[in-house]
Amino acid sequence: MVSEKFSIIGDGLVLVDHGPVTMTLEARKRGRPFTEGAVEGAKRALEVFDGIAAHLDFIRTPFSGIRSIPEGAPAAVRRMAESVAQLEDGSFTPLAAVAGTTADFAVSAMAAAGADLAFANNGGDIAWHVLRGEKDFINVGMISDLSIGRATHSLKICAFDDIRGLATSGLGGRSLTRGIASAVTVLAADSSKADAAATAIANACYCDDPAIERCLAEELDYGTDIRGLTVTRSVGALRKESIRTALAAGTEKAKVLTEKGMIAGAVLFVCGAMSIVKQRDRGNLFEVAEL
């Protein structure tokens, strides 16, 4: 099956390619590819996109200017706003959770269609449904430098009740960043929360160093939702102390969001240096290893 907006690219595999959405969907049922389920996920993702687009003015509004969610707003718009609200930062807009939220709704549709296993990868923001007993863990390739775009680490996820989504943000990614993180991957109960948190933690990975060039967001993207805010344009050769400072600042932000229960943990990279944050006293939720 092929439409103008999505196409079947393999057994149980569907690609959504519409506007800013480039999402790969995979569904399996009783151990076999479940193409019909993946198609349902694609249809739902497109419905979500259309609903979000109809509320563009709201989702581009910084939280400092939001009094309430509009009456009749779709569930996805509400989910985006609720996820970003947990950051307690008025400079963020609900748009910070758009990719992860769309992935979540696509996976929910595949599960509702009968999929035992369902995955949605929306440009690196990933959501999944794993029926209890189907798998003990899943492995995900993790990028330590978004500007290179090659998986360098393996992320083994062992707790499907606690972690059902992840997102990655940082310098060189699809969105602008206010920090200097090479990559920040966040794990959470859903991809919507992970998406918002990854952006916040990547922003927090910052320090003062003459090798960092900054500019207004609209200089890099005229249509950005964070006009007036300063973002990172480029990073040169940093002092070792600067790398440590930026990584420590991002780690502290990750700890705050983990301790308040928004996320299950995070893996941060700044110029080759790594930090791992996990929820305390929750057992082995995930493991990280070099490839």
29 and 89 housed in the same domain: yes
* 283 vs 160 pLDDT, higher one: 160
> Based on the number of CB atoms within 10 Å of its own CB, is 132 exposed (0-12), middle (13-18) or buried (19 or more)?
exposed
Q: What is the rounded CA–CA span in Å between residue 38 and residue 47?
A: 14
12: left (phi over 0), alpha (psi -120 to 50) or beta: left
Q: Per-residue pLDDT averaged across 256-285, rounded?
A: 93
**DSSP class of residue 2?**
B
Phi, psi of 127 (to 5 degrees): -125, 155
pLDDT band (50, 70, 90) for residue 173: confident
Contacts of 252 (CB under 8 A, 6+ apart): 204
Q: Quick check: 193 and 97 in contact, CB under 8 A?
A: yes
120 and 13 housed in the same domain: yes
Q: How far apart are the first and last CA of the chain?
A: 36
* 23 vs 281 pLDDT, higher one: 23
123 and 147 housed in the same domain: no
pLDDT digits (tens, 9 = 90+) for 190-226: 999 999 999 999 999 999 999 999 999 999 999 999 9
Element spanning 44, H or E:
helix 35-53
142 and 270 housed in the same domain: yes
pLDDT digits (tens, 9 = 90+) for 252-268: 999 999 999 999 999 99
Of the three residues 91, 106, 135, the one that is the final residue of a domain is 135
Instruction: Copy the structure tokens of residue 4.
Output: 């103008």
% of the chain with per-residue pLDDT over 70 = 99
121 and 243 housed in the same domain: no
pLDDT digits (tens, 9 = 90+) for 111-148: 999 999 999 999 999 999 998 777 889 999 999 999 99
76 and 151 housed in the same domain: no
Of the three residues 83, 111, 135, the one that is the final residue of a domain is 135
Q: What's the total number of domains in the chain? A: 2
Q: What is the rounded CA–CA span in Å between residue 115 and residue 93?
A: 33
Other CB atoms within 10 A of residue 265 CB: 23
281 and 148 housed in the same domain: yes
Domain that holds residue 179: 136-291
130 and 158 housed in the same domain: no
